[in-house]
Amino acid sequence: MQINVDRNRCEGHGLCEERGPRVFALDDDGELIHRFEGTDVPAEYETEAAAAVAACPVVALRQAGPTR
């Protein structure tokens, strides 16, 4: 699966980092770091990636592509 980020929506709440710390992080300026932007999230991280998508309060994260 891939996760797309709408950076215009992201407000830096950091819930995605809390739920999916191996996929998402916030930098020192509160900007979202998506470690697998434009590429597949490794299979072993998919569960936490999906939890992060579900947790984002502003729906800035969207799951794209097939789930294995």
Q: What does the binding site for ligand SF4 look like in residue numbers (CB under 6 A)?
A: 10-16, 24, 32, 56, 58, 60-61
What residues contact 38, with CB distance under 8 A and at least 6 apart?
A: 2
Cβ 37 to ligand SF4 shortest distance, Å:
12
Beta strands in 1-68 (DSSP E): 2-5, 24-26, 32-34, 61-64
Cβ 68 to ligand SF4 shortest distance, Å:
23
Q: Which of 62, 63, 58 is nearest to 9 (CA)?
A: 58
Cβ 57 to ligand SF4 shortest distance, Å:
6
